Amino acid sequence: MVLSAQAWAELPPQTRATFEVELLTRHTLALRVVVPQTAHDEWHPPFFYLLEDALARRIGTRQHLTHEKIDEMIWYWANVPTNKGQLAVGVPQSRIDSQPGMALLASVLSGLVLAGGFSIWLARRITAPLAQLAEASVLLGQGLSPGLLPETGPREVIALSRRFNTMAQQVRDLLTARTTLLAGVSHDLRTPLARMRLALELLKFDPKPDLIERMERDIAQMNRLIGNVLDLARGLEHESPVATNLLEFLYEVAEDFSNPTCPINVTCLPGQRMVARFALYRALGNLLQNALRYAPATPVELVCETDHEHCRIGVLDRGPGIAPEQIEAMFEPFQRLDPSRSPITGGSGLGLAIVRELARANGWQVTLLAHPSGGLQAWITL
C-alpha cells in the first residue's frame, strides 16, 4: 500500500490512470484522494487491526482504517504520505481470504472427528481384552480351562489380564491337585479295605486275634491317610502370626517328635519372632516325621538361622536323600521315592505336599537340598 502510493506520486500524470487500472487488476488495491478519518472506532475484522499496526510502524503515525461499502464490497482506506502530499490507498475485505469463524468451526469439527475416531479406537482397545476376559471367566466358571489372555493394551488391562492368568493357573493347579488327591485316596484305601474284607471272611470261619489286630492296623492306616488329606486341605488356610520364642518353640517340637533311638538336636539362638505357630508346627512335624522314617537310628538336627530381615528353620538328616531331579516331584501329592507304596517303607506321600501348601498359605518358601555329609536338608524360610 505504501509503495503503491509512493510509486503513483512519482509517475508522470498521463501514466497514472494506467497504473491505477493495473494496480486494481493485479493487486486489488485502489488509489484516490485523501479520505476523512471516521470519528468513531468502527469494528474491523482481526486482520485489519494487524494491518493498522503494520502501517503505523511504516509511516510513523497511527490511524484507524476507514470503512466504506462500494458496489456490495467492503473497502478499508488508509491515508499514506508521499512526497507530494497524502494519498488514500484502499484494500477490499475480499482480498483478505482469512475467515476466523469458519477456521474455528473447521478446527472444532476436525477435532471432534479426530477425538471420535481416537475414542472408538481406544474403546475397542480396552473393550476387546475385557470381552476376552468375560468369555474366559465364563469358561472358568463352567469348570473348563480357558487359554491364557494376551497381556497387551493399556497398563491397567495388562495388570488385569496378568492377574486373571495367574488366577486361572492357580485354579488349574487346584483342580489337578484335587483330582490327584481323590485318585490317590481311592488308590491307597483299596489295599486296606481289601485286607479288611478278607479278614472279615476269615473271621466267619476261624476267629483269630491276629486277624482282629490286622483289621485294627488297617483302620489306623486309613485314619492316618484321611487325616493327612484333611491336613492338606487345611494347609490352604492362612493363620495369623503371633509373637513366639523360637528357641522354646523348637524345643517343644523336638520333644514331641523325638524318640530314644533317634534324638533331635536343636540349634537356635534365643529371640522372638512373629510366626504362624500352629502352621509352622505342622510343617516342621511333617519334615521331622520324614527324617525319622528315612534316617532311623541317626541324629536329626533342627536348626534355626536368623538375622534382622530373614529367618529360616531347617530339618537336617543323614538318610539316603533325594536326587536333585526328583525333588520337585516329591512335593506333589502321593509322590514317593518307593514305587511299591508299602506302609512299611514310607507314608502316604502327602507330607511334603502339606508342607508346601502351608508355606504358600503363610508366605514362606520351602527348599530341599542335599546335605554335604550325605542326607537331606529341608529348609523353611519365613
Q: 246 in a domain, yes or no?
A: yes
Q: Structural domain of residue 49, as residue ranges? A: 2-98
Q: 50 in a domain, yes or no?
A: yes
| Per-residue pLDDT in tens (0 to 9) along the chain, 382 residues | 999 999 999 999 899 999 999 999 999 999 988 777 665 667 888 888 899 999 999 998 888 888 888 888 888 999 999 888 889 999 998 887 667 778 889 999 999 999 999 999 888 877 888 888 888 888 888 777 778 888 887 788 888 888 888 888 878 777 776 666 666 666 667 777 887 888 888 888 877 888 788 788 788 877 877 776 676 665 556 678 899 999 999 999 998 888 877 888 999 988 888 988 888 888 898 889 888 888 877 889 999 998 777 899 999 998 888 888 887 878 776 666 655 545 554 555 677 887 888 888 888 999 999 888 888 899 999 9
Give the integer Cα–Cα distance in Å for 261 and 263.
6
CATH code of the domain containing 16: 3.30.450.300
CATH code of the domain containing 264: 3.30.565.10
Q: In the listed set 98, 116, 136, which residue is the last one of a domain according to the structure?
A: 98
Q: 205 in a domain, yes or no?
A: no
pLDDT value, residue 213: 82
Q: 196 in a domain, yes or no?
A: no
Which grid cell sits at 62?
497511527
User: Which residues touch 78 (CB under 8 Å, ≥6 apart)?
Assistant: 1, 51, 52, 55, 63, 65, 66, 88, 89, 90
Q: In the listed set 31, 64, 98, which residue is the last one of a domain according to the structure?
A: 98
Going by C-alpha positions, the residue among 13, 24, 22 that lies closest to residue 89 is 24
Domain count, the chain: 2
Contact 358, 231 (CB under 8 A): no
- AA letter at 98: S
Q: 133 in a domain, yes or no?
A: no
Going by C-alpha positions, the residue among 94, 92, 98, 93 that lies closest to residue 30 is 92
pLDDT value, residue 189: 74
Q: In the listed set 78, 98, 118, which residue is the last one of a domain according to the structure?
A: 98
Q: Which stretch of DSSP H or E encloses residue 282? A: helix 277-294
Q: 242 in a domain, yes or no?
A: yes
Q: 173 in a domain, yes or no?
A: no
Q: 177 in a domain, yes or no?
A: no
| 3-state DSSP assignment of residue 258 | coil
